[in-house]
Amino acid sequence: MNRTAGLNADLLKAALTGLTGPDKSMDPKWFYDRAGSALFERITRLPEYYPTRTETAILTAGIARIAAHVPKGSALVELGSGASVKTRILLDGLHDLAAYLPVDVSESFLRQVAADLDRAYPALPVVPIIADFMAPLRLPAAYADHPKVGFFPGSTIGNLEPDRARALLASVRQWPGIAAFIVGIDLVKDVETLVQAYDDAAGVTAAFNRNLLVRLNREAGARFDPDTFDHEARWNPDLARMEMHLVSRVEQGVAIGPGMARFAAGESIHTESSHKYTRDSFDDLARAAGWRRDTFLSDAQDHFAVTVLLPG
């Protein structure tokens, strides 16, 4: 009997690799099935979750300065586009774009968002790319000769370990015709504000975190009981990052396809890290990947920033 037939082979492999050893973790990209994507959009509207509204205000106020770095006829390429809410600020403020190319791993969610944008911007080609943006990205041949402008909002770059963030920046730097890269970064700030943003009073972030277990059950043949895991948000001062964990309340063994994950009571699955930057630390990261920072836009409290990087 084939116990893996009909399962998501990539997710199953990631789960067996990440959850059967002593240090349990999963890549946060696995959060974003249809339910996870919808839950994240709810998170962005929570009162505790400052990044979305702050970045939106920065983009709105700074669109003219951003537009100065976008050549006529550019293809705007958004990595991890999600609902593309903030993208509309750019699409409304940037003129003479050749196309909008949203990149996301959640196919059904991406196609729905692309259809909505098609209706909202009928004169602009919207070409969805279903892909993991950490893998080598093949852009449509039709736009090979157009200038490219990357857009990576939402502080998603903070979800990457510094070496992976540097690798992504270096990869985008090698796109043919790359003119600029617009990146949102969450800044180092007081711990209370950070923890509340990742552990909201309504429990939406907890549901988002536990949905990973639901997805593992559905797509990787796992047998998790999500109610036996607590959501926990932790500030790691040594690495300047917020961490999300799923902490097992009890000692238990959980089948995952043909394998087994064993948890001691209090043992956790590290599901996400969100690195926070200072202006100088992000400049250093960008410089190491072949970029120079031209523009740094932040809010009055210095909670968040949008940077415009140019090829160095």
- What superfamily would CATH give domain 50-189+276-311? Vaccinia Virus protein VP39 (3.40.50.150)
Cβ neighbours of residue 235 closer than 8 Å, sequence gap 6 or more: 191, 194, 195, 241, 242, 243
- Along the 312 residues of the chain, how does pLDDT read in single tens digits? 456 778 999 999 999 999 999 999 999 989 989 899 899 989 999 999 999 999 999 999 999 999 999 999 999 999 987 667 789 999 999 989 999 999 988 788 788 889 999 999 999 999 999 998 888 889 999 999 999 999 999 899 999 999 999 999 999 999 999 999 999 999 999 999 999 999 999 999 999 999 999 999 999 999 999 999 999 999 999 999 999 999 999 999 999 999 999 999 999 999 999 999 999 999 999 999 999 999 999 999 999 999 999 999
N-terminal to C-terminal alpha carbon distance within the chain: 56
C-beta contacts of 14-18 below 8 A and 24+ residues apart: 15/216, 15/220, 15/222, 15/256, 15/257, 15/259, 15/261, 16/256, 16/257, 16/259, 18/269
Please, are residues 161 and 127 in contact by the beta-carbon 8 Å criterion? no
Q: Give the whole-angstrom CA distance, residue 148 versus residue 157.
A: 19
Specify which residues 149 forms β-bridges with. Answer: 76, 180
- What pLDDT is recorded for position 229? 98
Confidence (pTM): 0.88
**Angle, CA of 84, 90 and 95, to the nearest 5°:** 135
Region(s) of the chain under CATH 3.40.50.150: 50-189+276-311
Q: Dihedrals φ, ψ of 212, to 5°?
A: -60, -40
Go through the chain and tell me how many residues it has: 312
